[in-house]
Amino acid sequence: MTSKVRAIRKVGAMNLIELREAQRFKVDWTIKVSALGVVGPTWEETGILRDISSTGAYGLFTSRFEMGRSVKVTIRLPLERAGWISYPARVLRVEPWGSGVGIAFIFGALRPSFVADD
């Protein structure tokens, strides 16, 4: 029987309970986020991926995204031959981070799609 452990981390004056139970890996990769299901002009925001797990990711951005919004998360893999992986995702949490925002995403698929380098 495994016990579920939730970490508490301090962000500014707030204590946040970490709900992700999957192991996270600290990284410093490029992440792009674009809107899913948008009629009209599309947008894309580039940021820095800070950690990733099998169920979600956390990145730093200059723009705030709406919580609950469906997005496409595309992550550049740091390999000799550059490539990207992409997941449908949902914005789970938005929090202040320096001069920008930290945004947590929950993936909507178990496996990523592989995308050609652009």
pLDDT digits (tens, 9 = 90+) for 5-27: 344 444 444 444 455 567 889 99
Decide: 89 and 107 in contact? Cβ < 8 Å.
yes
The model carries a pTM of: 0.77
Terminal CA-CA length for the chain: 45
Q: Which two tokens stand for residue 10?
A: 């301090």
In the chain, where are the structural domains located? 23-115
47-83 tens-digit pLDDT: 999 999 999 999 999 988 889 999 999 999 988 887 8
Cite the beta strand spans of 1-118 per DSSP E.
Answer: 8-11, 14-17, 25-35, 44-52, 56-61, 70-77, 83-97, 100-107, 113-115
Distance between CA atoms of residues 75 and 77, nearest Å = 6
CATH code for the domain defined by 23-115? 2.40.10.220
